[in-house]
Amino acid sequence: MAKRRLDAEARAGLGLISPPFFYALLVLAAPLLTILATSFLTDGYLEIIREPTLDNYVQVFTDPIVRVVMTRSLIVAAVVTLVTVLLAFPVAYYVSFHVRPEKKAMWLFLITIPFWTSYLIRVFLWKVILGFNGVVNTTLTGLGIIDEPLTFILYNVNSIVITLAHAYAPFAILPIFIALEKIDRSLLEAGRDLGESRAMTFWRVTLPLAMPGVIAATLIVFIPTIGDYVTPEVIGGGRFPMIANMIQVNMLALDNRPLGSALAVTTMVIVALVSVIFLALNRRFLKVRR
């Protein structure tokens, strides 16, 4: 009787999870498998000759242009992630430790305000702010700090980093805030009672316990940043393309979908490897802290 009941519960559970599982499989796995399969095809001028080949991956790893663009994408993503997390941590720390509990919801509400507008609109706003006659140049000129508008604050890598750091700041603040909220405040009091300074208590207690949130923020920012297409195109003026721009050119402009798919698969593999390495290093860091 008990075995029949367990079998019935198992069938009921499978019946519940089957629809979302197959939906996720269709929506997520099918496109990835399609891109993976396309990356092994041969591109022809008139049609794709359906013969598996590794030529696309050979070109990805040997083409110096691809190497430069991929390196730029990794560096920009790393810098954006570093800047975003470093700026997000103090904000999350202040909201968690210094804002009264009844006002934390309001602060979180204010942090999420950028989500109210389209990402594309925010990117164009930064173009207006950093432009030749934008807010920055107009203000500096009006204050007499500069005589002529600055021309190096737009259409370069720095402007791309600034825009991306602002765009993904809420994604970094929220997970760090959640990790800080889970810290038992009595541990911090115990550290101070044992004679530790606030700085050493933060370094030895708060930061290690907040590392899960920092890891989440790092991955949440790094993964979409390396594949960002809009910001390098609009803020960079197309002069500093990233890997997503190269994928778009091959997929649409050049109609070379096998090579574009190979670029996409290679990027996904690199991102996965970087994420695994980072998680392994962080796990080792936590073991040392313990």
Report the pLDDT value the prediction gives residue 46, as an integer from 0 to 100: 40
Rounding to the nearest 10 degrees, give the CA dihedral for residues 104, 109, 110, 115.
150
- Can you tell me the mean pLDDT for 103-126? 85
Q: Is the pLDDT of residue 183 over 60?
A: yes
Pick 135 or 161 by higher pLDDT: 161
pTM of the model as a whole: 0.81
User: Taking Cα atoms as reference points, which of 128, 215, 125 lies closest to residue 167?
Assistant: 125
Report the pLDDT value the prediction gives residue 29, as an integer from 0 to 100: 81
Give tens-digit pLDDT for 9-57: 666 666 677 777 777 777 778 888 888 888 888 765 444 455 677 888 8
Alpha helices in 131-256 (DSSP H): 135-142, 157-167, 169-181, 185-193, 198-201, 207-226, 230-234, 243-248
Report the pLDDT value the prediction gives residue 172, as an integer from 0 to 100: 92
Alpha helices in 63-156 (DSSP H): 64-97, 101-111, 119-130, 135-142
- Can you tell me the mean pLDDT for 241-269? 88
User: Taking Cα atoms as reference points, which of 141, 129, 135, 137 lies closest to residue 235?
Assistant: 129
Give the C-alpha separation, 283 to 289, whole Å.
Answer: 10
- Which residues are CB-contacts of 85 (< 8 A; sequence separation ≥ 6)? 172, 176, 214, 217, 218, 221
Give the C-alpha separation, 100 to 244, whole Å.
Answer: 43
| Structure-token pair, residue 188 | 């911090």
Highest averaged pLDDT of the listed ranges 13-27, 76-90, 95-109, 271-285: 76-90
- Can you tell me the mean pLDDT for 125-153? 80
Alpha helices in 39-63 (DSSP H): 55-62
Query: What's the CATH class of domain 64-289?
Result: mainly alpha
Give the C-alpha separation, 73 to 242, whole Å.
Answer: 5
The percent helix, strand, coil of the chain (3-state, each to 5) is: 80, 0, 20
Q: Which residues of 132-146 are buried (b: 16+ CB within 10 A; e: fewer)?
A: eebebbeebeeeeee
Pick 76 or 209 by higher pLDDT: 76
Pick 84 or 227 by higher pLDDT: 84
Report the pLDDT value the prediction gives residue 45, as an integer from 0 to 100: 41
Give the C-alpha separation, 46 to 43, whole Å.
Answer: 9
> Please, are residues 247 and 264 in contact by the beta-carbon 8 Å criterion?
yes
Give the C-alpha separation, 285 to 160, whole Å.
Answer: 31
Residue where the block lists tokens 């399969």: 37
Report the pLDDT value the prediction gives residue 47, as an integer from 0 to 100: 47
Report the pLDDT value the prediction gives residue 176, as an integer from 0 to 100: 92
Q: Is the pLDDT of residue 90 over 90?
A: yes
Give the C-alpha separation, 222 to 85, whole Å.
Answer: 10
Report the pLDDT value the prediction gives residue 75, as an integer from 0 to 100: 92
- Can you tell me the mean pLDDT for 214-243? 87
Q: Is the pLDDT of residue 287 over 60?
A: no
Going by pLDDT thresholds of 50, 70 and 90, the confidence category of residue 233 is confident
Give the C-alpha separation, 103 to 248, whole Å.
Answer: 44
List the single range of 52-61, 63-72, 266-275 with lowest mean pLDDT: 52-61
What average pLDDT is seen over the chain? 82
Report the pLDDT value the prediction gives residue 288, as an integer from 0 to 100: 45
